[in-house]
Amino acid sequence: MTAKPAETPSPGARLECENVTVRFGGVIALDSVSLSVPPSTIVGLVGPNGAGKSTLFSVLSGLRRPNSGRVRFEGADITRMSAQARARRGLARTFQHPEMFTGLTAREHIMLSHRMSTRRSRIWTDILTARGFRPADHDEVERVDQLLEALNLTEISNQPVAGLPLGMTRLVELARALASSPKVLLLDEPSSGLDAQETEQVMRVFERAVELSGVSLLLVEHDVAMVLRLCSYVHVLDFGVEIGAGTPEEIRNNDAVRAAYLGDETAAGVASIEPQGAGS
């Protein structure tokens, strides 16, 4: 794991949002929320159902425009930028319910994502160079194979993802996101539907991704133990409002968070988590 940042996010944040507000009719889904994700760190975003976490993810990834507020990526204002333009800049995401290209194979998911990040203007070159009748580049094959192997997907690499169980589908989605060489990766409830062992495995993938590639992760997760173990900094939302932010230790001791979100019983459970998880 990389060195932990200071108690507050560093000023050279890769991704940040400032006073983001989203309204659905009369309902305020996000009320002036701000957060930042520094380089090579894992930042957590927690909150009960309906807190606005997925809405914030949609705003950050460009699938939804905020009513007010700003989103910045490496210092540049991307608030009005489309999702695909953000993806090309290095912002990748996964979904709470995986958004897969169900008829494509795991290999094709990774290949497409890799090509999107490495080549441009391929429609005319595809037509004029008969690209479809030539084998894939050696470098590309090697890179895709590496990623498949890294996530233990080699065996199912040529199978449409529609038939895969949820755990493997999440891994393919993660592989697709990593294949674009992202600078920031937004992970929406990645442990949802996984058992304890699978969750442990996914956590190790995240840690190694940050350690080896320097990617920054923003993690939305219901599994509070996972968030407190992995993340350097945690934001807590409730009813669209940030009710707390700080290091895992600060979150554990934050009365507002304990009262409004964790509850006494859960808070006791969280307190029992030893710090050995956080840095392993």
Q: List the interface residues with other proteins, window 185-224 (CB under 8 A).
A: 194-195, 197-198, 201-202, 204-205, 208-209, 212-215
Decide if 51 contacts 239 (C-beta within 8 A): yes
- What is the spatial distance between Cα 168 and Cα 267, in angstroms, rounded to a whole number? 31
Q: Which three-class secondary structure string do you get for 188-235? A: ECCCCCCCHHHHHHHHHHHHHHHHHHCCEEEEECCCHHHHHHHCCEEE
Question: What minimum distance in Å lies between the beta carbon of 244 and other proteins?
Answer: 29
Neighbours of 127 (CB within 10 A): 10
Per-residue contact string for residues 60-89; x = within reach of other proteins by CB under 8 A: -xxx------------------xxxx-xx-
* Nearest in space to 150 (alpha carbons), one of 210, 208, 109, 234: 208
Out of 49, 103, 138, 265, the only residue in the binding site for other proteins (CB under 8 A) is 103
Question: What minimum distance in Å lies between the beta carbon of 241 and other proteins?
Answer: 25
Question: What minimum distance in Å lies between the beta carbon of 247 and other proteins?
Answer: 26
DSSP assignment letter at 105: B
- Cβ proximity to other proteins: between 33 and 177 the closer is 177
- Cβ proximity to other proteins: between 80 and 204 the closer is 204
Decide if 47 contacts 53 (C-beta within 8 A): yes
- Cβ proximity to other proteins: between 11 and 124 the closer is 124
Residue 11 found at the interface with other proteins (CB under 8 A): no
- Cβ proximity to other proteins: between 3 and 134 the closer is 134
Window 238 to 257, contacts with other proteins (CB under 8 A): none
DSSP assignment letter at 137: P
Give exposure, 84-99, as e/b (b: 16+ Cβ within 10 Å). Answer: eebbeebbbbbbbebe
Question: What minimum distance in Å lies between the beta carbon of 260 and other proteins?
Answer: 26
Contacts of 74 (CB under 8 A, 6+ apart): 14, 15, 89, 183
Question: What minimum distance in Å lies between the beta carbon of 196 and other proteins?
Answer: 11
Decide if 192 contacts 96 (C-beta within 8 A): yes
Question: What minimum distance in Å lies between the beta carbon of 267 and other proteins?
Answer: 30
Question: What minimum distance in Å lies between the beta carbon of 35 and other proteins?
Answer: 19
Strand pairing partners for 33?
20
Window 104 to 163, contacts with other proteins (CB under 8 A): 104-105, 107-108, 111-113, 115-117, 119, 122-123, 126-127, 130-136, 143, 146-147, 149-153, 155-156, 158-160, 162-163
Size of residue set near other proteins by CB under 8 A: 80
